């Protein structure tokens, strides 16, 4: 079994997550080099993981012939550019979402990836969560019949810093985009129209930054199914991530994961753990699983499960959601796509 | 303690439910007389409950001086008329929902009730479900902070007969109207606007009858809260009745009730009871509790908890929902009210 | 359908429970008369239930020809005596447990009941709890295969008054006797031997009264199954009543019932209701169901489900448990029986 | 941070588990060498983990100066011998349970370990399960008050091969020994006496081999607490590992872990995942955590949490349990210890 050599571009929080998963949980790979303008900040954990190749210039990774694949974990605004360069250098690509906030730029980058014939996997890690995947697989196997209603509750434990909010493209493109992908994944069908209700409930500063922090979004699918997503930037009880798929033959749902299964029976109530705190804890297994799937696709020469189109379509949906919220009407995907 | 004497108009399914609750679970009352054109069909259970006074003409009940209060459990189209007659006769009134499908008629009837100074309680029994009431009370006590998101899943186990559907005023006014009341009850605030997505997923005959059977409805409240209701006419696993209230300080939710607390750990899975089958089982306690509350209001000379305005407002919301669905736009309550 | 006329002897707590069940939840019966030396204390609830026949002398009930059946709800020391008198008067008998603490006296009373050919049902109400009955029925239907292990957790919310403890015959005969019956019910087999470990953990006064308040009891059955019962007189979180049946084909268990299905997701934990407070709440349905079964047996002329032998056998087991605890050894039922 | 160099003796199932945990989940260690007469059978996974040092003779590991610590994962009969040799060579020792089935041999080995002043940690991995540890820590913090009752359900999914049974020392020393350790861990007190009820219910061949496969064991503690353990060698629904600690201030319990949090609401029931299949899945995190704790103890120069005495005491309890079962009486630990 040939070792797959990987370069990681970006050693921030998400770069570190992928580095840890690759080193610890993915057999047959080597993290050959990491690149980041501030790579020195990562010395401690790079040492601990035994990753020796380090550079401040990602082009060094792209130029390195022995490297088979790159993980693009840099700031969003650089994703499309690096993707294009990596594709031209013949590297297989794992790219964190979103590819870009600009639809035209995303299309262009995907075009190049296609021309170059490299593999591209998008970082929609939640698809690899064991519970969500089981719901999808069992739905796809017909356990609930044709899907009628999908419900996704997706609430962060606390809002990001205002500076982050300002550059994020807005909640629909930054946070809900994961839920749009999940809705497509569960429905096995494409979204045709969107209605978004939203509000500023958590922090007025988010509103002043032109964004919202609370939303209820309705989706219509080609299949005739409908979905509803509810979002909040601040769930005091932790990271609330639940899904539900309903059809004529039954309902599948996945409740939150908790640190332990301990219950306390006390004088006032029976209490159990609140959900795992945030995405690093909740989706730890999912991060490992998505990297194993990516490496397996490279090894088997197959198409990754989550690829370019999966980066583009949620962007359409998110854009439509933003417009729906602002114009208080249903917005079709065709309307957004056609532009 | 003076015995409250009650007449029940209508001895169909819901009339029987109220008769049973009154006789068995409400101390200090007497069901003095029941009226129904087909009262003979009820002989068996009237005998069992020991209710001797029977007539085919409801006017006999209204004319009887000793009767303190009437339960209007007849067909919907007669509610407003009987309400007016009962009010004029000085009876306190318990009326099943809806008062009427026509907003003007409802307003008129409520006007008369007001003029006559009698008590009126609407049959929104779910408010008296112990779980739902606990969620409301704890929400009102501030346990979740100001309400940001309300979620109501309300799914019937099977659709009513097509003939019933045709005369029902449509799913929004027949089925969702309970959920609109519940949303108001939980929010402690009034609805300002509605968006309804809906579809025919269960039975094409429902669509041919001009109705829908599946819906996702978004509500906006004066308080700034939002709510989402999802409905289906056919949940194969039983009567699905769940609520959730989310705010900055936490979340309260009520899961379904089940016949037993038994779990089976088998070779393939761990299985538990599905939800109670339908409203008679699920809301048995709630029916008793609402009658106890009504009788208590009479006895104490206080205003019932669920009164005329609570019959009118859900009608506005349901009408707005129907229009939203047909015109694919957000419809405000003011728009409906103003007509 | 002929009305069954019932006399209730004893208007203390349990007599009242049966009166309420009979009046409200059992069709086709009439509580014709109640007897109690202190019957005046019961005026309020007797009025509310509309029970007019009242006497201080139970013999009046036994002498009344029209009365078909008696409920013996008086103090334990009078059960056997009244049972004998009622049997001789040809009344069917519902008797609260235990019949007596003295095995010889119990045998004698049962002998008389048999000779007189009247029906006898013992008040082991837990057999009629919907969850426990479902576990028994599904076990009897083979769902877990031959039973290997039975587990019963049975803990009271708080200890009875010390005066009560002194006259109770000890925890094994007063409290655990219900669990012995439940174990037999679930096992579908008879107990052959007992080992009891016990201690005073709740209140030293209980120890000073010669009793224990905490126990772990092992039972062996003819079938080869084993059971373990754990008891405490003081569970701060309420009335803890759980059962579990394990065999080669799976496990069935019943968790506690709770007042509502509400959950609160807060900053520290997710909390739900603690169990229902005590036996009146937890077994409300069971009390009604056992009376319906008794009345049905009378009406159908069949043998009650819980009869004389079911009053005797738990007494053997309880006596063996007491001896096991004192002598720190396994005690067989044959040893106790043979005396 | 100095790298701790480790040798693993035994490359069977449990040796592999430790190797994987050490390589993947324990920072700052190196698995320098593994030893096993059949080390060639382990080539595949040793390659995958990148462990190059391999030998058929464990003495090579003991002789290697650079190795700081050894993991004894060989067959039970060799544990004591290797422990003594490793201690004399000054290695810190992680030893799988049991040290030996012979009490005298265990005492002797522990004596030597003590004299040599090396660290010893026993492989009672369940203490490091996040749920069980939380129950222990919260109990130790007083959340339930003084412990009155401990309940442990511990059931394997399927019995081991008969050949294994024959050499295992019997179920009490092979399987229940983990539960004896858990009981001590939870109680925070030492066992004084044991009563064991047991039977052959799963497979007659186990009985023919002189062993049992089903048991209910009562323990008494110095603190006055009591515990009950129930065991089966064959739970068709998977690896059943539950604990419960009850005291005057409440109850803590830990339910089983499951692969996902998915529920299916179908026409007959609501079904969820059965427990994780067996110890490798259920205790995966615990294996990593115990190795991290061992390495941390070495690094900090502290005493391990689970040490020699924790290997000896469960052996006393298991021996007492076997005798109790055979002689049908309560057996004290002093009786066993004194021999």
Q: Give per-residue pLDDT as tens, C182-216.
A: 999 999 999 999 999 999 999 999 999 999 999 99
> Inter-chain contact A250–B228, Cβ cutoff 8 Å?
no
Query: A338: pLDDT confidence band, cut at 50, 70 and 90?
Result: confident
- Round to whole Å and give the CA distance between C298 and C292: 10
Describe the strand order of the beta sheet including A120-122 as a list of residue ranges. A53-55, A29-35, A4-9, A69-72, A92-95, A120-122
Cβ atoms of residues A237 and B250 within 8 Å:
yes
pLDDT surpasses 80 at B175 = yes
Predicted local confidence at residue D2, as pLDDT: 86
pLDDT of residue B257: 95
Partner D contacted by B260 (CB < 8 A): no
**pLDDT for position D245:** 98
Residue numbers in D near B274 (CB within 8 A):
265-270
| DSSP symbols for B63-89 | H-TT--EEEE-S-HHHHHHHHHHHHHT
Nearest Cα neighbor of B306 from B290, B319, B317, B292 is: B290
Q: Which residue in chain C is spatially nearest to A240 when comparing CA positions?
A: C265
Using an 8 Å CB-CB cutoff, list chain D residues near C179.
Answer: none
| ipTM confidence score | 0.94
Residue D328, sorted as left (phi over 0), alpha (psi -120 to 50) or beta, turns out to be left
The pLDDT, as a whole number, for residue D279 is: 84
pTM equals 0.95
SS3 of residue B98 by DSSP: coil
Residue A281 has pLDDT above 90, yes or no: no
Asked if B119 contacts B293 with a C-beta cutoff of 8 angstroms, the reply is: no
Distance from C-alpha of D72 to C-alpha of D87, rounded to nearest angstrom? 12
pLDDT tens-digit map of C212-233: 999 999 999 999 999 999 999 9
Partner residue facing D251 (CB), from C216, C237, C246: C237
CB-based contact C266 A237, cutoff 8 Å: yes
Predicted confidence band of residue C167 (pLDDT cuts 50, 70, 90)? confident
Which pLDDT value is given to residue A222?
98
Strand partners, D149: D226, D246
Between CA B97 and CA B172 the distance in angstroms is 13
| CA end-to-end distance (rounded Å), chain D | 47
User: Is B277 a residue whose pLDDT tops 90?
Assistant: no
Q: Percentage of chain C surpassing pLDDT 90?
A: 93
| Residue pLDDT, tens place only, A75-87 | 999 999 999 999 9
Residue A163 reports pLDDT greater than 90: yes
- The rounded mean pLDDT for chain C is 96
Which residues in chain A are closer than 8 Å to C236, comparing Cβ atoms?
A: 266-267
DSSP string, B102-165: -HHHHHHHHHHHHHHT--EEE--GGGG-HHHHHHHHHHHTTTT-SEEEEEEEEE-SSPPPHHHH
Q: Which residue, among B157, B258, B270, would best test binding to D if mutated, counting the most D CBs under 10 Å from its CB?
A: B270
Q: Is the pLDDT of residue C1 over 80?
A: no
pLDDT in tens, chain D (339 residues): 789 999 999 999 999 999 999 998 998 899 999 999 999 999 999 998 989 999 999 999 999 999 999 999 999 999 999 999 999 999 999 999 899 999 999 999 999 999 999 999 999 999 999 999 999 999 999 999 999 999 999 999 999 999 999 988 999 999 999 999 999 999 999 999 999 999 999 999 999 999 999 999 999 999 999 999 999 999 999 999 999 999 999 999 999 999 999 999 999 999 999 999 888 888 999 999 999 999 999 999 999 999 999 999 999 999 999 999 999 999 999 999 987
- Which residues between 270 and 309 in chain A have a beta carbon less than 8 angstroms from any beta carbon of chain C? 270-275
What is the mean predicted confidence (pLDDT) over B185-203?
98
How many residues can be counted in chain D? 339
Q: What is the largest CA-CA distance in chain D?
A: 66
Which residues are registered as beta bridge partners of D151? D228, D244
pLDDT score for B27: 86
- For residue C246, what are the β-bridge partners? C149, C251
**What distance in Å separates the CA atoms of residue B320 and residue B325, rounded to the nearest whole number?**
9
The predicted structure's pLDDT at residue D69: 98
Query: Does residue A339 have a pLDDT over 80?
Result: no
Return phi, psi of residue C248, to 5°. -65, -25
Test the C interface: residue of B43, B133, B262 with most C CBs within 10 Å: B262
At residue A132, the 3 state secondary structure works out as: helix
8 Å CB contact between D79 and D93: no
- Token code pair at residue B254: 């009520």
Q: Do D271 and B273 touch (CB under 8 A)?
A: no
pLDDT in tens, B293-314: 999 999 999 999 999 999 999 9
pLDDT tens, residue by residue, B132-158: 999 999 999 999 999 999 999 999 999
Q: CA-CA distance, B281 to A290, in Å (whole number)?
A: 46
What integer is the mean pLDDT of A224-246?
97
Angle A177-A178-A182 (CA atoms, 0-180°, nearest 5)?
Answer: 115
CA–CA distance, B26 with B8 (Å, rounded to integer): 15
Does residue A317 have a pLDDT over 90? yes
- Contacts of residue D241, Cβ cutoff 8 Å, sequence gap at least 6: D126, D153, D154, D155, D256, D275, D282
- Tally C-beta pairs within 8 A across A and B: 89
Please give the pLDDT value at position A27: 86
Q: Which residues of A fall within a CB distance of 8 Å from B328? A: 329-330
Q: Which H or E run includes C220? A: strand C214-221
pLDDT of residue B114: 96
Residue A306 pLDDT level (bands cut at 50, 70, 90): very high
pLDDT of residue A23: 92
Helix%, strand%, coil% for chain B, nearest 5 = 40, 25, 35
What was the pLDDT predicted at C286?
Answer: 95
Model pLDDT, residue A1: 72
pLDDT, tens digit, for every residue of C97-125?
899 999 999 999 999 999 999 999 999 99
Tokens of A222: 């080609």
Residues 196-235 (A) with a CB less than 8 A from some CB of B: 197, 199, 201-202, 214, 216, 218, 220, 224, 226-228, 230, 232, 234-235
Query: Chains with 3 or more CB pairs closer than 8 angstroms to D?
Result: A, B, C
B278, pLDDT greater than 90: no
Q: Which of residues 320-339 of D touch C (CB under 8 A)?
A: 328-330
Cβ atoms of residues A231 and A217 within 8 Å: yes
Task: Please say whether the beta carbons of B8 and B18 come within 8 A.
Answer: yes
For residue C219, the surrounding DSSP H or E stretch is strand C214-221
The closest CB to that of A260, out of D24, D134, D251, belongs to D134
Residue with tokens 């100095």: D2
**Does residue A216 contact residue A230 with C-beta atoms inside 8 Å?**
yes
The stretch A53-67 carries a mean pLDDT of: 98
Report, as an integer, the average pLDDT of C262-271. 97
Contacts of C267 in chain A (CB under 8 A): 236-237, 274
Q: Is the pLDDT of residue B286 over 90?
A: yes
């Amino acid at each position: 079994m040939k070792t797959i050599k990987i370069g990681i571009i970006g050693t921030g929080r998400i770069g570190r997550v992928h580095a840890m998963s690759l080193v610890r949980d993915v057999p047959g790979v080597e993290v050959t080099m990491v690149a980041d303008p501030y790579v020195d900040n990562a010395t401690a954990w790079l040492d601990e993981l035994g990753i020796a190749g380090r550079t401040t210039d990602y082009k060094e990774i792209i130029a390195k012939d022995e490297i088979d694949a790159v993980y693009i974990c840099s700031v969003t605004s650089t994703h499309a550019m690096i993707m294009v360069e990596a594709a031209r250098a013949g590297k297989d690509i794992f790219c964190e979402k979103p590819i870009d906030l600009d639809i035209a730029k995303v299309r262009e980058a995907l075009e190049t990836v296609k021309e170059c014939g490299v593999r591209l996997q998008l970082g929609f890690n939640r698809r690899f969560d064991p519970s969500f995947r089981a719901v999808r697989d069992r739905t796809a196997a017909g356990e609930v019949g044709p899907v009628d209603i999908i419900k996704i509750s997706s609430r962060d434990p606390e809002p990001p810093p205002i500076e982050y909010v300002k550059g994020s493209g807005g909640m629909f493109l930054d946070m809900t985009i994961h839920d749009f992908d999940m809705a497509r994944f569960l429905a096995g069908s494409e979204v045709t129209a969107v209605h978004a209700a939203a509000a500023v409930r958590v922090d007025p500063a988010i509103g002043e930054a032109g964004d919202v922090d609370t939303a209820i979004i309705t989706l219509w699918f080609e299949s005739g199914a409908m979905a509803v997503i509810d979002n909040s930037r601040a769930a005091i009880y932790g990271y609330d991530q639940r899904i539900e798929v309903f059809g004529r033959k039954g309902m599948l749902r996945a409740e939150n994961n908790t640190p332990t299964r301990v219950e306390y029976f006390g004088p006032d109530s029976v209490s159990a753990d609140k959900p795992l705190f945030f995405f690093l804890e909740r989706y730890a297994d999912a991060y490992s699983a998505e990297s194993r799937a990516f490496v397996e696709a490279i090894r088997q020469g197959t198409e990754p499960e989550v690829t370019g189109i999966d980066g583009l379509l949620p962007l359409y949906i998110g854009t439509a959601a933003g417009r729906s919220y602002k114009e208080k009407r249903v917005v079709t995907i065709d309307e957004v796509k056609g532009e």
